[in-house]
Amino acid sequence: MVRLIQGVPARLAAVRERIRVAEDRLGRKPGSVALLAVSKKQEVAKIRAAFTAGQTAFGESYAQEAAEKMDALETLGVQWHFIGRIQGNKTRQIAERFDWVHSLCNLKHARRLSEQRPAHLPPLTACVQVNLDLEPGKAGLPPAQVADFITACAGLPRLKLAGLMTLPAPVEDEEARRRPFRALRLLRDRIATPALPLPVLSMGMSADLEAAIAEGATMVRVGTAVFGPREAG
């Protein structure tokens, strides 16, 4: 475990270099793609090592697991992103303790998050999850429902709608990898307005971040490539 922890800075640097090279090769502005380090099922010591190496934004999928890490790292000033499926009985915990939520796709949950967001905190930044391929059992809204959902959420005072998120099925072919990311960007371009520009495209992971950057990703979510293997369970 000590070796895995010590390896975090080098792996983090390698991922950042992949992002930098992709930005340069694809004509993207340097620094236009943010890295979200997915720390679910990872040791607190690894998160601390990544933070020490300059990574400040971390993604968690399970509210209770995240709460324990937040308590352990509360003095560091970590920015916490909730990226998992939202459960109705966890909305208060998400509203009170996270800075971002990437998996918004239920209006009841959106209303609860807004109502439960503490007044002393800034509005909870949110991305709407889109199920582009209409995969059964996968969270996310069908593309045809996204515009109406955003309209319904736009007036919630304690939510700040920032953009869209997707989690496409893994594929090997480069063009096939790019296709869903392109679809998310085009969907955003159709529904964005001057009042609600939706600048964030949260898409791309370890295996396909270059394809996502090619299609306009502004945030990539990378876990194992930064931290190494996850804990069992």
Listed in sequence order, the residues at least 6 apart from 108 whose beta carbon sits closer than 8 Å to its beta carbon are: 88
The predicted pLDDT at position 113 comes to 98
Task: Report residue 193 CA to chain centroid gap.
Answer: 22
Cα torsion at 196, 184, 165, 145 (round to 10°)?
A: 70
For residues 12 and 53, the answer to whether their CB atoms sit within 8 Å is: yes
pLDDT tens for 141-169 read 999 999 999 999 999 999 999 999 999 98
pLDDT tens for 65-124 read 999 999 999 999 999 999 999 999 999 999 999 999 999 999 999 999 999 999 999 999
pLDDT at 174 > cutoff 90: no
pLDDT tens for 7-27 read 999 999 999 999 999 999 999
Q: How many CB atoms lie within 10 A of CB 168?
A: 24
DSSP 107: H
The predicted pLDDT at position 147 comes to 98
Q: What is the mean pLDDT of residues 129-150?
A: 95
Query: Confidence class of residue 3 from pLDDT cuts 50, 70 and 90?
Result: low
Mean of pLDDT over the chain: 95
The predicted pLDDT at position 221 comes to 98
Segments in the chain forming alpha helices (H): 2-6, 8-25, 44-52, 63-72, 91-97, 107-116, 143-153, 174-191, 209-214, 224-227
For residues 116 and 91, the answer to whether their CB atoms sit within 8 Å is: yes
The predicted pLDDT at position 230 comes to 76
pLDDT at 4 > cutoff 90: no
DSSP 138: -
Could you write out the DSSP letters of every residue in 43-102? -HHHHHHHHHTT--EEEES-HHHHHHHHHHTTTS--EEEE-S---GGGHHHHHHH-SEEE
Give the end-to-end CA distance of the chain in Å, rounded to a whole number: 16
